[in-house]
C-alpha cells in the first residue's frame, strides 16, 4: 500500500508569540487528506484537520508564508499525530481500499 499526503487548505492568522512579536500570516490550521493506493490502483482517502500554534515560537524560527513548502506542512501535520493515530488512519484507509475494490452495479430489473 502506498500512502501520500495532500494539503488542501491552510488557515492563516496574525498571531503574537510569547515574545510579544506579531507573526503575520501564521498557519494556524491545516486541512489535509491522506490517500492510500494499492498496487492495482484501488484508492481510498481520509480527510483531517490539524490545529497549529505559533505562540511558543521564536520570531527567528518563524517561516514566512511564501517560504513554506509542502514538505514542511506535512511535517507539521505528522508531528502532531501520534504513531497510534497514524496507524489508525492507515488501518481505516486499508479497510476502505478493500471496500472500494468491490465493483457495484445496478441490476437492470
List the chain domain ranges: 2-101
Radius of gyration for the chain, computed over Cα atoms and rounded to the nearest angstrom: 18
Query: Binning pLDDT at 50, 70 and 90, where does residue 102 land?
Result: confident
Mean pLDDT, the chain, rounded, equals: 95
Count of Cβ atoms closer than 10 Å to residue 53 Cβ: 10
Residue 103 has pLDDT above 90, yes or no: no
Residue 56's pLDDT is what? Answer: 93
Residue 8's pLDDT is what? Answer: 98
Give SS3 for 67: helix
Residue 53's pLDDT is what? Answer: 93
pTM for this entry: 0.86
CA–CA separation, 55 and 35 (whole Å) = 31
Percent residues over pLDDT 70 in the chain: 100
76-104 mean pLDDT: 95
Amino acid at each position: 500500500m502506498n500512502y501520500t499526503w495532500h494539503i488542501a487548505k491552510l488557515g492563516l492568522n496574525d498571531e503574537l508569540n510569547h515574545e510579544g512579536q506579531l507573526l503575520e500570516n501564521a498557519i494556524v490550521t491545516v486541512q489535509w487528506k491522506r490517500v492510500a493506493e494499492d498496487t492495482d490502483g484501488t484508492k481510498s482517502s481520509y480527510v483531517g484537520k490539524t490545529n497549529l500554534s505559533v505562540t511558543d515560537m521564536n520570531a527567528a524560527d518563524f517561516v514566512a508564508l511564501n517560504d513554506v513548502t509542502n514538505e514542511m506542512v506535512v511535517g507539521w501535520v505528522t508531528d502532531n499525530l501520534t504513531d497510534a493515530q497514524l496507524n489508525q488512519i492507515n488501518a481505516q484507509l486499508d479497510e476502505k481500499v478493500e471496500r472500494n475494490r468491490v465493483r457495484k452495479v445496478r441490476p437492470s430489473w
